[in-house]
Amino acid sequence: MQQKLYINTNLATMVPNDVPYGLIENGAIAIADGKICWCGTGKEIPSQYVGWDHQDLDGRVITPGLIDCHTHIVHGGNRASEFEMRLEGASYEEVARAGGGIISTVKATRSTSETDLVQDALAHVDSLIGEGVCTIEIKSGYGLDQENELKMLRAARAITQQRPVNISTSFLGAHAIPVEYKDNDDAYIEEICIPAMESAHKEGLVDAVDGFCEGIAFSPEQIERVFIKAQALGIPVKLHAEQLSNLSGAKLAAKFNGLSADHLEYLDEEGVRAMAEAGTVATILPGAFYTLHETKYPPVDLLRKHKVPIAIATDCNPGSSPLSSILLTMNMACTLFRLTPREALAGATRNAALALGFGDRGTIEAGKRADLAIWNINHPGELSYRIGFNSLHQRIFGGAT
């Protein structure tokens, strides 16, 4: 049995209580068999842990292992040329309508083998792991046919054979309309998206079902058809909603008890209310906001007012958010969206776990997975404050360093 005691640490437990960050100063934490068995102050270490192999952390902060709950990390190629086009004046929507955008990544992803997709993804996964990330959500959505959607999901799952990290997969068949179904989007949903979802589910490749509800993608009616099937299969749903316009996607996600609605710049109070009632997490994505030079802000004050949990994520993708740093994402969430450092850390831990439906991680509590990050800082507020600086000391994944 693997046992370890960490002492002389400031524990940002992220357990919601009256103390900011659920902070335990001069704390200690005991882990065994991949789980946290006890945490508290150094003065109250129960006698059964006192003799364990221990490490003195010299006042360093421990947080829950970070969670990136919205990524498109598996994809072929890159879109640097589009970045340039947008800087020359074209909008994201114009690029998409001209056959660029998501569709150009579909072409690149279809022509990349599963092995190469994994290899390409690992570079970004390593960047996240190097910043204390222990769980990553990865979406399909650049295959848009049965073979390639499944290939993406298998690649996402295969990452866990190469790196110590948890992967949660989302089937995003309703991401864009492939060229072969141009002007035939209803047929795409019936003939490709839904059957591919069923096959992927049969293969155990789907932890959640996602969609892109937008003028340049799918209507609420089309997304609803996908969600009805997902529900029948017992798969939880989430949705890219209100990113470029308000189609009441968040309300739709809430109607299906969605785990999360993501992006949300154009969300209104009615949508916020629906999310609050359904317990749907608001995942906001500062990388896409920044990259697209968006000027409309997600309604953070309304989310606070209605007590909707806020998660943050990189949205790591080759088009709208080529961002592979969760620490920079936390800083951007504070500076761009005015989240407090405490909200930003909750967004990448406790609330990100909620957005993925995980009850076994995201806070430091007895019984939870021993996914932890030890930082060369003395107070957790320092994590969101620095820009482009990584203070990770050590990552603990399932109890292992």
Q: Which residue is nearest to Fe ion (CB)?
A: 315
Taking the C-alpha atoms of residue 386 and residue 328, their distance in angstroms, rounded to an integer, is 8
What number of chain residues touch Fe ion (CB under 5 A)? 1
Count of positions (residues) in the chain: 401
Distance CA 48, CA 309 (A): 37
Q: Is 220 in the site for ligand DI6 (CB under 6 A)?
A: no
Distance CA 280, CA 268 (A): 15
Binding mask 72-101 for ligand DI6 (x = CB under 6 A): x----------------------------x
- Name, in order, each residue with C-beta under 8 angstroms of 201's C-beta and a sequence gap of 6 or more: 171, 233, 235
Instruction: Specify whether the CB–CB gap between 137 and 69 falls below 8 A.
Output: yes
CB nearer Fe ion, residue 149 or residue 315:
315
Nearer to ligand DI6, 240 or 361 (CB): 240
d(CA 21, CA 400): 24
> Does the footprint of Fe ion cover residue 343 (CB under 5 A)?
no
Q: Which residue is nearest to ligand DI6 (CB)?
A: 319
By CB under 6 A, residue 266 contacts ligand DI6: no
Instruction: Check binding of 325 to ligand DI6 (CB under 6 A).
Output: no
Closest distance between ligand DI6 and the C-beta of residue 243, in Å? 6
| Identity of the residue, 27 or 76, whose beta carbon is nearer to Fe ion in the bound complex | 76
Quick check: 214 binds Fe ion (CB under 5 A)?
no
Minimum distance, C-beta of residue 62 to ligand DI6, in the bound complex (Å): 32
User: Rounded to whole angstroms, how far apart are CA atoms 221 and 234?
Assistant: 20
Size of the site for ligand DI6 (CB under 6 A): 15
Report the amino acid identity of residue 127. S
Task: Tell which one of 63, 317, 363, 384 touches ligand DI6 (CB under 6 A).
Answer: 317
Q: Measure the CA–CA gap between 246 and 38, rounded to whole angstroms.
A: 46
x/- string (CB under 5 A) for Fe ion, residues 299-318?
----------------x---
Under DSSP, the state recorded for 349 is T
For Fe ion, give the closer residue by CB, 64 or 100.
Answer: 100
109 with 84: CB under 8 angstroms?
A: no
4, 151, 238, 240: residue in contact with ligand DI6 (rule CB under 6 A):
240
- d(Cα 283, Cα 279) in Å, to the nearest integer? 12
The span from the CA of 86 to the CA of 34, in Å, is: 47
Write the binding mask 189 to 218 for ligand DI6: x where contact by CB under 6 A, - elsewhere: -----------------------x------
Task: Check residue 319 for interaction with ligand DI6 (CB under 6 A).
Answer: yes
3-state secondary structure (DSSP) of residue 142: coil
Structure tokens at 117: 């997709």
Chain residues binding Fe ion by CB under 5 A are 315
Chain residues binding ligand DI6 by CB under 6 A are 72, 101-102, 105, 175, 212, 240, 243, 288, 315, 317-321
